[in-house]
């Protein structure tokens, strides 16, 4: 089933915030991400939040697997640029510990192309949920900031709002 999200004027194309969010959109996105922390995810991933289940460990392993599967030429270029192969990367990432937060439903791919500007109080619609998962609620916010041009004042605004609404 497909649905449409975009302007009510169907002759106008959907507007994605590819050049960054406006202040009210930044607030609206944080509000929506905070709302996701209140969704009951247990039917989607009953094991999330179990003792020993670490989103950071899972995410680190995903990165190591990705690096290990790179074509030979890409691994050679990465080595030339000073980036580690899979085995040293696993070791480097294994040295770090991240505070555990209660798991939440995540979008998983919060790029600007997966946001559509709205003409109402919600300001943005989050679309394309095919990579949804359960994990650390800060992940979507940080991933969005890394995939979207985010001015420092918008970044600060989003983190301040996040801290106020959902203390880290």
Instruction: Give the Cα separation of 166 and 168 in Å (integer).
Output: 6
Are the C-beta atoms of residues 105 and 132 closer than 8 Å to each other? yes
| Domains in the chain: ranges and CATH | 23-41+100-165 (3.90.1200.10), 55-94 (no CATH)
Give per-residue pLDDT as tens, 109-158: 999 999 999 988 899 999 999 999 999 999 999 999 999 999 999 999 99
Q: What is the pLDDT of residues 61-107, one digit of tens each?
A: 999 999 999 999 999 999 999 999 999 999 999 999 888 788 999 99
Average of per-residue pLDDT across 17-34: 96
């Amino acid at each position: 089933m497909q649905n449409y999200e975009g302007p009510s004027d169907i002759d106008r194309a959907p507007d994605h915030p590819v050049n960054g969010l406006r202040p009210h959109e930044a607030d609206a996105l944080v509000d929506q991400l905070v709302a996701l922390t209140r969704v009951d995810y247990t039917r989607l991933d009953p094991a999330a939040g179990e003792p020993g289940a670490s989103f950071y460990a899972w995410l680190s392993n995903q990165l190591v697997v990705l690096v290990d599967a790179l074509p030979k030429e890409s691994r050679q270029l990465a080595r030339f640029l000073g980036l580690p192969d899979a085995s040293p990367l696993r070791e480097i990432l294994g040295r770090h510990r991240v505070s555990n937060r209660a798991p939440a439903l995540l979008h998983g791919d919060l790029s600007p192309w997966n946001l559509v500007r709205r003409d109402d109080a919600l300001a943005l619609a989050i679309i394309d949920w095919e990579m949804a998962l359960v994990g650390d609620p800060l992940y979507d916010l940080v991933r969005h900031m890394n995939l979207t041009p985010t001015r420092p004042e918008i970044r600060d605004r989003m983190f301040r709002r996040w801290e106020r609404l959902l203390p880290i």
